[in-house]
Amino acid sequence: MYIATLLTAPETPALDPALIESLRNAWGGGDVTWLSHDEAAEFFLNVLPDNQWQVWDDLQKMSVDLVLQPAEGRCKKMLLADMDSTMIQQECIDELADEAGFGARVSAITARAMNGELDFEGALIERVGLLRGLVEPVIDKVLDERITLMPGGRELVSTMRANGGYCALVSGGFTAFTRSVAAQLGFDENRANTLLAEDGALTGEVARPILGREAKVEALEQITARLGIAEADVLAVGDGANDLGMLQRAGTGVAMHAKPSVAAQCDVRINHGDLTALLYLQGYARNDFAA
């Protein structure tokens, strides 16, 4: 048994009931359940349709996301989330670099690294090197003035935790940021890289070993083993090439507003919904969300 979930941006909910019914009839689906008025709906299927991706492409042009997945086991016991451009709307290193006067240069490197065009570790070392001499208080300034949470993040974390889920924030960014974001959103733990400083200023170095793609997979392995749950019980979400390892290993890996090369390698892609989409995928209705 499979389930089809259709959803759109919550700030402009315009999911057409006629569209849902037409698709349900074409695919021989079960009754439609609305998870949120005009925003998210689902129906069951006995088999996966052959034209799934053709329909997905057509719906994208209508600002509608479509996800088909096995119905069994879709409600997960753990959330493993990337931070930059996933749980927050920015790339922290780009914001720091902008304060240091290298914003455009670093942003270009970040974009290429997240799209898988550059080696993540090498690109990180190069970008951090440009931060040398930046005084540590700038980190707090960036956190206060530049970093904003991704819509739906609070609801996602609080609802999963309220239902017994464990939430881990695992970033190729920096602990100075993950600590703050994890505390604001209620994550159980966070992992990231550490910027090195001396005499109140960044040295342009990052502590080794560098947390990248493999370290995110290791986090998946270590945390599930510690909790005594299967990797199939994990919902992972990210947007960059360094997230692909955990996205492909987790029970459900969500490419969230992801780089094209990343989305192309994932079966679950959210381009229009916000982070509450990850709750709809698990079968939660909006009135089930924790405050």
Instruction: Name the residues annotated as catalytic.
Output: 82, 84
Residue with tokens 């088999």: 47
Angle at CA of residue 83, ends 77 and 87, nearest 5°: 75
Cis peptide before 17 (omega within 30 of 0): no
Residue 197: beta bridge partners?
Answer: 202
**In the chain, helix, strand, coil percent, each to 5?**
40, 25, 35
Q: Specify the 3-state DSSP secondary structure of 236.
A: strand
Q: Are strands 252-256 and 234-238 parallel, antiparallel or unpaired?
A: parallel
Amino acid code (one letter) for 24: R
- Nearest Cα neighbor of 150 from 88, 82, 240, 85 is 88
Name the DSSP class of 31.
-
Contact between 89 and 150 (Cβ < 8 Å) = yes
CA–CA dist 165, 81 (Å, integer): 13
Which residue type does 271 have?
N
Shortest CA distance to 11 belongs to which of 42, 38, 32, 33?
Answer: 38
